[in-house]
Amino acid sequence: MDSFLRRLLTVVAALFLVAYVGYQAFQLLYSPLETETVRSYSVYDTVDAEGITIRNETVIPAETDGYRYYTLTNGSKVAMNGQIAEIYSDENAALIHQQIEELETQIQELKTIDQQGTSNRVNLDMINKQIDRLQLELAVAVHSPNMADTDSLRSHLLSLMNKRQKVIGTVSDFSERIAALTAQKQALEAQASTPSATLTAPVAGYFVSTVDGLENVLDYDKVTSLTVEEVEAALAMAPSENTVDYVGKVVGDYEWYFTCVLDSAAAAQIRQDAKLSVQFPFVSEEAVPVEVTLANRTKDGKTLVVLKCSYMSEALADIRKETARIRLVEYEGLRVPDSALTFNDDGQRGVYVRVGNPVEFRKVDILYSEAGFHICRDMSTLSQSELEEKGINTAEYLRLYDEVVVSGKKGLYDGKIIRS
């Protein structure tokens, strides 16, 4: 009996060993490879700050009673004495003119799309990306306390969706829709009345329809002599609720400032005259270029930062108190998943790249690491003199659009032939 058990145990152990060896061999020889395409990518070291916008603003009083129809959108350029609004005796008359303008805009956009034909077919991917971005911006604008002009965003989104319909062939042309919109417009024009008055800009600049009562809290001409106490006091002020007495304002200078107070540790990388970029995440995804006009460090561990910007958009036109995300350092290169990184037999760090059936080992130079991925230097961006100085052979390094192996790396070596 003991002899039988020993033989049985020996057989079981042998079968287990064969199964284990077979499994390991299968994993080594037949483990399927999963790859991912290498793309360009950027990440930033950032610091968030609550701040306030300073502009050269001229407030326009409402000197005429009636219902206003603005003929300009926020952020639009306007000449001195240029028209900014029409006044109507009743709300319905103003609404009719607004609807006529919106219909005319839609008609012209549809005519433009028809004239372009299908030439935008190659741009379908770009159109889809723009639609996604606008939907996100619209969602932010609707829920933000500093709302952008959602009508303009909706109009732009509608235009892109119409363009997409034409490109993918959902519609052959918009003649029927243009005819229907034209009929609506003509019906409204038959009801339209002339404005009782028009409003004009007292100075040249760009127009903003909102007034918050904080236009002159901080002196535009004295931004370089601001103190921490002045900025903190301005940030503590509440916007005025009495805005009905004003039509809007004109910003008379295309340079504006954003100022904030940071603790000195957070502001350690901010230097006077540095060129940076800033994003206002609750307003727009767009990052705008700025220059550090002032970085005044005080004895109590605070730093007053003043950023100058010459860029303007509809979304930025009426921001006052806002959260800014200041981008300090940019890391730009090739994005590599953490699962792709490995070492070759020489101890060099890199990735395996599938080139047809064989795989090749490519070295990487990591610039930045974050949970799940790394940013690696794109050697094609270096000059020939830099490559020679560093002794770099670009053929040995990871390249844009390489197919890196992210799964099934076990048993790989440079030049190994992979079964399809």
Q: Is 112's pLDDT higher than 80?
A: no
Q: Is 277's pLDDT higher than 80?
A: yes
User: Residue 150: what pLDDT?
Assistant: 65
Q: Which of 350, 341, 352, 368 is nearest to 413 (CA)?
A: 352
Long-range contacts of 10-14 (CB under 8 A, 24+ apart): none
Q: Is 247's pLDDT higher than 50?
A: yes
* C-alpha dist (Å) from residue 73 to 69, 243, 393: 11, 18, 54
Q: How many CA atoms lie within 13 A of 314 on its CB side?
A: 15
User: Residue 145: what pLDDT?
Assistant: 40
Q: Is CATH 2.40.30.170 what the domain over 45-59+215-329 is classified as, yes or no?
A: yes
pLDDT band at 394 (very low <50, low <70, confident <90, very high): very high
Average pLDDT over residues 222-249: 88
Q: What is the largest CA-CA distance in the chain?
A: 115
User: Residue 262: what pLDDT?
Assistant: 93
Tens digits of residue pLDDT in 340-393:
999 998 899 999 999 888 899 999 999 999 999 999 999 999 999 999 999 999
Q: How many residues does the chain have?
A: 420
Expressed in percent and rounded to 5, the helix, strand and coil fractions of the chain are 35, 30, 35
* C-alpha dist (Å) from residue 400 to 37, 233, 283: 8, 50, 33
Quote the mean pLDDT of the chain.
83
Tens digits of residue pLDDT in 302-335:
999 999 999 988 888 889 999 999 999 899 999 9
C-beta neighbour count of 33 within 10 angstroms: 16
> Could you give the 3-state DSSP secondary structure of residue 280?
coil
Q: Is 40's pLDDT higher than 60?
A: yes
Tens digits of residue pLDDT in 248-258:
999 987 799 99
Average pLDDT over residues 232-254: 85
The share of the chain scoring above pLDDT 90, in percent, equals: 41
pLDDT band at 14 (very low <50, low <70, confident <90, very high): low
> Could you give the 3-state DSSP secondary structure of residue 4?
helix
Tens digits of residue pLDDT in 129-152:
777 777 777 776 665 443 445 666
Q: Is 214's pLDDT higher than 80?
A: yes
Please, where are the H alpha helices in 213-342?
228-236
Q: Is 221's pLDDT higher than 70?
A: yes
pLDDT band at 203 (very low <50, low <70, confident <90, very high): very high
Under 8 Å between Cβ of 217 and 287: no
Average pLDDT over residues 160-184: 78
Q: Which pair of structure tokens corresponds to residue 192?
A: 């339209």
User: Residue 23: what pLDDT?
Assistant: 47
Under 8 Å between Cβ of 59 and 208: no
Which residue did the predictor score with more confidence, 53 or 158?
A: 53
Q: Is 28's pLDDT higher than 50?
A: no
